[in-house]
Chain A
């Protein structure tokens, strides 16, 4: 890949205990960063916990591993000392804690440039698989300071990025995002500096929650300005070749990535809101909320806990029972169900349309496992809508066909079999779904929180 140092442009935080020593090797690295047009924030030690949140906008981090060497050198005044193990451990602990705290607020490349043996530092990082996965390229690069100076900082960074497509996409996307964000706020600012108040009042006049809708408006406008994403991952394709050879490991990676595309786990969702697509798990079933998003927000004196979820009931479908249409790469479904896969640790969940259940959010909020995201959610909702409006057709008697009757395709068999197997259930479903979106189910059929 052609080097593109501009992907790293922005603020660079350099943490090194020798940052103020004009003879230290970090000076050469600092100079290379400054020469490339980046702004440097020099720190001689790990920032305290409270200030980590200020690092949200940083493009990348350069970090020394040994952050006590300069102080020891100064105190020893030319002598040498043996560093006690507790001190090394405390240094390692503080760096690991910083990397963890940082990851929560800013996922950006961290370059550990050190005078310590590189293998030792990597061994220490490997103990923390959430930070440094031995089997997967990490957002952390460890390299000897001397080697960085020799090769040139940005040559090192670009070469490293050749093996880290996730960082390449992050940096490329960030550039497009920052551009779109700036354009968006500038465009509205030019229209009127009071633009937030205009839309706020508008939402309030509609008795809608203004903060949530203002957020939606910004999100929509931002997305519209980002439609062209210039990103070329072709040079990275060979990275997959090695991984594909291990069939089971590759399958696991594919499932995890596909799950990330369509399912947001509960730990990323705040309990102070719910949305269509939220999936809940009770002892005997899974439930997906399909209530329209505008009805999932409390209005006026409404309380979130008292709002109703409109739920479809589902169950985990064993893989042995799943069929796969290899021509279109999809799972054939019956007309009265939607199967979502992979979600919640690689499961396939099958939601049935026959009945809609209502339950207060407060009764299920502690059982939420995550959220199905659009367009997978949109598809499920649209299939449910189509199911509600399906016309009843009389069956075609087999006698109408010349003998023998023509063979059915496997996909058609699935659909026809469903109707044949459940004629009564399908009828019941049609009559059990009220015209108004939902009705209270019998107590025994409600989700048991």
Chain B
């Protein structure tokens, strides 16, 4: 799935000189949901990272995805400017966008809504241990929360 979505963004990744890498840790990561939900999640994460990486001047531009089957987690990270501390509490709110007129403010909101329907979650990595790259790091947990 991730590879298929990467292919959709291949032209943008190439044009903006962004390296993309996937790291797999432990056993294969299993997510019990529909393809459409995962597709929407990845579309929004790729779109978000590419947008912010474009503003990065100097140095290598990277997106790295870590699939940790043992912990049931996926970390989608980039080395762009990262999420502003003032914006962090609101980025999953509807119509909240740090992109100004370029953004609709729905991408991350939709991603969270879809995941929550399956009792999954998406959060900003807030500890150094969770962070893969210095920019924005989103941690998606595919471990269903106990009711």
B137 vs chain A, min Cβ distance (A) = 19
Cβ-defined contact, B36 with A71, below 8 A: no
Cβ-defined contact, A87 with B9, below 8 A: yes
Cβ-defined contact, B12 with A71, below 8 A: no
Give residues in B with beta carbon < 8 Å to A: 1, 4-5, 7-9, 11-12, 15, 34-37, 39-40, 43-44, 47-48, 50-51, 102-104, 106-107, 110
A72, A85, A94: the one within 8 Å of B47 (CB): A85
Q: Write out the residue numbers on chain B whose beta carbons fall within 8 Å of the beta carbon of A81.
A: 36, 39-40, 43
Closest to B12 in A: A90
A300 vs chain B, min Cβ distance (A) = 48
Number of interface residues, chain A, beta carbon within 8 A: 19
Cβ-defined contact, B43 with A78, below 8 A: no
- Other 20 A-B pairs with CB < 8 A, given A68-B8, A84-B43, A85-B47: A71-B4, A71-B7, A72-B8, A72-B39, A75-B4, A76-B36, A77-B34, A77-B35, A77-B36, A79-B34, A79-B35, A79-B39, A80-B36, A82-B40, A82-B106, A84-B44, A84-B47, A85-B102, A86-B47, A86-B51
Q: Write out the residue numbers on chain A whose beta carbons fall within 8 Å of the beta carbon of B106.
A: 82
Q: How far is the CA of A68 from the CA of B37 in the complex (A)?
A: 17
Q: How far is the CA of A62 from the CA of B145 in the complex (A)?
A: 51
Q: How far is the CA of A202 from the CA of B81 in the complex (A)?
A: 68
Q: How far is the CA of A32 from the CA of B91 in the complex (A)?
A: 50
CB of A320 within 8 Å of the partner chain: no
CB of A408 within 8 Å of the partner chain: no
B36 vs chain A, min Cβ distance (A) = 2
B24 vs chain A, min Cβ distance (A) = 20
Cβ-defined contact, A87 with B8, below 8 A: yes
Give residues in A with beta carbon < 8 Å to B: 68, 71-72, 75-87, 90, 93-94
Cβ-defined contact, B35 with A86, below 8 A: no
Q: Write out the residue numbers on chain A whose beta carbons fall within 8 Å of the beta carbon of B34.
A: 77, 79
Q: Which 10 A-B pairs have the closest CB atoms?
A: A79-B36, A84-B47, A86-B47, A76-B36, A77-B35, A90-B12, A81-B40, A75-B39, A75-B4, A76-B39
Q: How far is the CA of A417 from the CA of B8 in the complex (A)?
A: 74
B101 vs chain A, min Cβ distance (A) = 10
14 A-B pairs with C-beta separation under 8 A? A68-B8, A72-B8, A75-B35, A79-B36, A79-B39, A81-B40, A82-B40, A83-B43, A84-B47, A86-B12, A87-B9, A87-B43, A90-B9, A90-B12
B4, B7, B110: the one within 8 Å of A82 (CB): B110
Q: Write out the residue numbers on chain B whose beta carbons fall within 8 Å of the beta carbon of A78.
A: 36
Q: Write out the residue numbers on chain B whose beta carbons fall within 8 Å of the beta carbon of A83.
A: 43
Closest to A84 in B: B47
User: Which one of A77, A81, A87 has the greatest number of beta carbons of chain B within 10 Å?
Assistant: A81
B145 vs chain A, min Cβ distance (A) = 23
Q: How far is the CA of A93 from the CA of B12 in the complex (A)?
A: 10
Q: How far is the CA of A68 from the CA of B11 in the complex (A)?
A: 12
Q: How far is the CA of A94 from the CA of B14 in the complex (A)?
A: 12
A124 vs chain B, min Cβ distance (A) = 16
Q: Write out the residue numbers on chain B whose beta carbons fall within 8 Å of the beta carbon of A68.
A: 8
Q: How far is the CA of A86 from the CA of B55 in the complex (A)?
A: 14
B118 vs chain A, min Cβ distance (A) = 13
Q: How far is the CA of A81 from the CA of B43 in the complex (A)?
A: 9
Q: Write out the residue numbers on chain B whose beta carbons fall within 8 Å of the beta carbon of A82.
A: 40, 106, 110
Cβ-defined contact, A75 with B103, below 8 A: no
Q: Write out the residue numbers on chain B whose beta carbons fall within 8 Å of the beta carbon of A94.
A: 11
Q: Write out the residue numbers on chain B whose beta carbons fall within 8 Å of the beta carbon of A90.
A: 9, 11-12, 15
Q: How far is the CA of A84 from the CA of B103 in the complex (A)?
A: 9
Known: A71-B8, A75-B4. A84 touches B107 (CB 8 A): yes
A77, A80, A85: the one within 8 Å of B103 (CB): A85
Q: How far is the CA of A68 from the CA of B5 in the complex (A)?
A: 11
Q: How far is the CA of A80 from the CA of B35 in the complex (A)?
A: 10
Q: Write out the residue numbers on chain A whose beta carbons fall within 8 Å of the beta carbon of B36.
A: 76-81
Q: Write out the residue numbers on chain B whose beta carbons fall within 8 Å of the beta carbon of A79.
A: 34-37, 39
Q: Write out the residue numbers on chain B whose beta carbons fall within 8 Å of the beta carbon of A75.
A: 1, 4-5, 8, 35, 39
Q: How far is the CA of A282 from the CA of B12 in the complex (A)?
A: 45
Q: Write out the residue numbers on chain B whose beta carbons fall within 8 Å of the beta carbon of A80.
A: 36
Closest to B102 in A: A85
A177 vs chain B, min Cβ distance (A) = 36
B35 vs chain A, min Cβ distance (A) = 4
Closest to A46 in B: B11
A224 vs chain B, min Cβ distance (A) = 47
B109 vs chain A, min Cβ distance (A) = 11
B92 vs chain A, min Cβ distance (A) = 15
Q: Write out the residue numbers on chain A whose beta carbons fall within 8 Å of the beta carbon of B12.
A: 86, 90
Q: Write out the residue numbers on chain A whose beta carbons fall within 8 Å of the beta carbon of B37.
A: 79
Q: How far is the CA of A151 from the CA of B20 in the complex (A)?
A: 46
Closest to B103 in A: A85
A83 vs chain B, min Cβ distance (A) = 7
Closest to B54 in A: A86
Q: Write out the residue numbers on chain A whose beta carbons fall within 8 Å of the beta carbon of B102.
A: 85
Q: How far is the CA of A424 from the CA of B64 in the complex (A)?
A: 83
Q: How far is the CA of A87 from the CA of B39 in the complex (A)?
A: 13
Cβ-defined contact, B47 with A87, below 8 A: yes
